[in-house]
Amino acid sequence: MDLCTREILGWHVLLGHPAELVLGAFQDAIRSAGAAPGILHSDQGSEYTSKRYTAIVEEQHIRISMSRRGSPGENGYQESFYSQFKLDLGSPERFDSLGELIAAIALHIHRYNHTRIHTKLKMPPAAYAERHRTKVETGIT
């Protein structure tokens, strides 16, 4: 999630929580954004503290930031999104196949980014991101 725009830029689906799961989402986010972020914030889950993950992120010259253990509020934006996402999506077991689950996730994220009005932004995250990019490109603040 981009903290400025609240846009979900990358996601990935795997069974379990290996480092490959977050690396897939990380690489997807870089492709979506067109650039690597300066800072990447997460909790201290084992996938984020793995040597493989930290090495790949640091190779991109990205500063790793992590919430303190047991402090989910320090990652509140992501925690809030994920909590609502799980409620909206429902139980993964309700899908007949992994493909159906992935399609439902893609649709939910698309709606979140492009349709759902974000309370703080007062518009969908993708619209806010476009507006922000235009302001940056034109020098209007």
Per-residue pLDDT reduced to its tens digit, 95-130: 999 999 999 999 999 999 999 999 999 999 999 999
Per-residue pLDDT reduced to its tens digit, 129-138: 999 988 888 8
Q: How many C-beta neighbours within 10 Å does residue 127 have?
A: 18
pLDDT-above-70 percentage for the chain: 99
Q: Give the per-residue pLDDT at 73.
A: 81
* pLDDT interval class at 141 (50, 70, 90): low
* pLDDT interval class at 12 (50, 70, 90): very high
Q: Give the per-residue pLDDT at 8.
A: 97
Alpha carbons 137 and 141: distance in angstroms, whole number: 10
Q: Identify the structural domains of the chain with CATH numbers, from first to last.
A: 19-138 (3.30.420.10)
Q: Please return the burial class of 93, using the count of CB atoms within 10 Å of its CB with bins 0-12, 13-18 and 19+.
A: exposed
Alpha carbons 67 and 62: distance in angstroms, whole number: 16
Q: Give the per-residue pLDDT at 129.
A: 95
Residue in the block written with tokens 């067109």: 34
Q: In the beta sheet, which residues pair with residue 123?
A: 118
Mean pLDDT along residues 20-35: 94
Q: How many C-beta neighbours within 10 Å does residue 24 have?
A: 16
110 CA to centre of own chain:
12
- Of the chain, the end-to-end C-alpha distance in Å amounts to 23
Mean pLDDT along residues 32-60: 94
- Residue 85: helix, strand or coil by DSSP? helix
Hey, what long-range contacts does 100-104 have (CB within 8 A, 24 or more apart)? 101/13, 102/13
Alpha carbons 56 and 62: distance in angstroms, whole number: 9
